[in-house]
Amino acid sequence: MDPLVPSDPTTKEYKEWRVSDLDGSSLTEIHMVLSTVVLSYWCWKCKTAAEFHRNPAKFSGRSWQHFVFECTVFLVPMFMALTEHYLYTTIAVLIGTGIYYRKQIPNAPYRADKWAPDPRADSFKQSFAPGKITPKSYLSIYRAEMMLLTCFCILAVDFNVFPLKFAKVETFGTSIMDLGVGSFVFSAGVVGAKSVLPKRVDGKIVAFSLWQQLKAGLRTSLPVLVLGIARFVLTESVDYQKHATEYGTHWNFFFTLGLLPICVPLGLSLCGDLRVTSMALLVVYQALYSLTPLGNWLEHADRTNIVAANREGIFSFVGYLAMFLLGMSLGQEVLPDAPTFKARRMRLVSVLGVWTTALISFFLFSFVLGIEPSRRFANAPYCFWVAGFNAAMLWVFMVIEEDVDSKLPPQLARAGRPAGYEVPVILEAINVNSLTTFLVANLLTGAINMQVETLLCTTVQSMFVLGGYTLMFMLPALLLYRSNIRLR
């Protein structure tokens, strides 16, 4: 063994060495693994719609049977895919199950005049009010699925059962955990668009000033920044392992999340079009990185001062801010209620446009200019990859919902749906308290690492611990949801 390589897997030095200099995995493999997320939702949606169609009066999405099915269809495939246990078998089973339940959904009643107005259009016109924002099930599922994957991976990476090719790469490359970090920021931006959209107050449409947006952003940021400080103090006090090239010596992800709401109003004040602002940020940042000595300094500088020591967190913030703004621009398209049924369907085109733009930009930077994605510095190819993937996921969720719901009779297709039909209970609980779930997952990850020698666990022990951990970080969200309490 190389004398410079730590030999004891229980030491901090070995754990830090183990996740250093990783190259990641291919885009094909990453997208293949994450296809299980979409297939899981498709299976659940088809089964739920089939049951609801058979007996709408007795349908209940809150039963124990439904809860067990949700855990089976969402958690088991995730475990199998992210630990490389029977990935292709898992995908095949999900496809077969989805086809089986999809065939159980009867077709919608035959319409002799296919050019006549869709009978569901009237309900849209009657319920629409300018400035009104009602929950969108595809958004809830998309956010909750991204959160579930992120929380699982932050502990799973500490076990041998989790392939290191899925862990964060050192500088250049792609991996599932790299995509997870960016997806967390992008999805937060999609929902964060609500803060800049005009609101309906006392029957009037009200737009908030820059100062009001700054105050609201500061209120949102303070608790997260406090969590960032607390995490830094705790990790230093217990000598917890950390990878300096991830965010820097003192910086952590909570600082990045906490600063975003403060900077967004400033970006809006420069240009009202979020897409223009985000694209300009990425192009300027990438030009400085590639055409000036900045890139070489970021990659190789010694950590001799506070800026150099935390250069990953400080400079990657520019990329994450652009990514957040890209998410907000998409949120402006999909969050407000659609005035007509046709407008609702046209959103599929809008999201597809974002996906296509991000994909073309990614290929331009990566394959034409030869710039590899870098999560470490959140460069332009990385941000466009994350934006394209998330837009694609959201688009597929929307298509699944539109396809399955279009099979229901008009009287079942829009109104009177019981709880548990639109969104699985476990995902809805995570969605309404996503930051709380993320905080609990981080605390549990630290506690488990201090009590369990994760690298010495067998495959069975690892799966047992990860299963218990997953249920434990979901439990507070489920209890809060059951009590109708929404923290953050």
Tokens 């095949």 belong to 92
> What is the reported pLDDT for 355?
83
What's the distance, CA 407 to chain centroid?
29
Helix axes 459-482, 425-432, angle to 10 degrees: 70
Cross-strand bridge partners of residue 204? 201
Alpha helices for 271-335 (secondary structure H):
274-291, 294-300, 306-309, 311-334
pLDDT tens by residue, the chain, 488 residues: 455 667 777 788 888 888 888 989 999 999 999 999 999 999 999 998 888 888 777 777 778 888 899 999 999 999 999 987 788 999 999 999 999 999 988 776 655 544 455 555 666 566 666 666 777 888 889 999 999 999 999 999 999 999 999 999 999 999 999 999 999 999 999 988 887 776 655 555 556 677 777 887 888 889 899 999 998 998 888 777 777 888 988 999 999 999 998 888 887 777 778 888 999 999 999 999 999 999 999 999 999 999 999 999 999 999 999 999 999 989 888 888 777 767 777 788 888 888 888 888 898 888 888 899 999 999 999 999 999 999 999 999 988 988 887 776 655 555 556 666 788 889 999 999 988 999 999 999 989 988 999 999 999 999 999 999 999 999 999 999 988 888 77
C-alpha–C-alpha distance, residues 195 and 360, integer Å: 29
> What is the reported pLDDT for 112?
53
At residue 24, φ and ψ (nearest 5 deg) are: 80, -160
> What is the reported pLDDT for 346?
77
CA torsion 237-242-244-249 (nearest 10°) is -20
Tally of CA atoms within 13 A in the half-sphere of 219 that contains its CB: 8
Residue by residue, what is the 3-state secondary structure of 176-219? Answer: HHHHHHHHHHHHHHHHHHHHCCCEEECCEEECCCHHHHHHHHHH
Instruction: Report whether 119 contacts 410 (CB < 8 A).
Output: yes
Alpha-carbon separation of residue 404 from 88, 393, 416, 423 (angstroms):
25, 17, 17, 13
> What is the reported pLDDT for 206?
57
Alpha-carbon separation of residue 185 from 165, 192, 257 (angstroms):
22, 10, 7
C-alpha–C-alpha distance, residues 362 and 381, integer Å: 5
C-alpha–C-alpha distance, residues 398 and 345, integer Å: 9
> What is the reported pLDDT for 316?
95
DSSP state letter for 453: -
Instruction: Report whether 168 contacts 19 (CB < 8 A).
Output: yes
Cross-strand bridge partners of residue 174? 24
Q: Is the pTM of this model over 0.85?
A: yes
C-alpha–C-alpha distance, residues 146 and 141, integer Å: 9
Alpha helices for 3-112 (secondary structure H):
12-18, 27-54, 64-82, 87-103
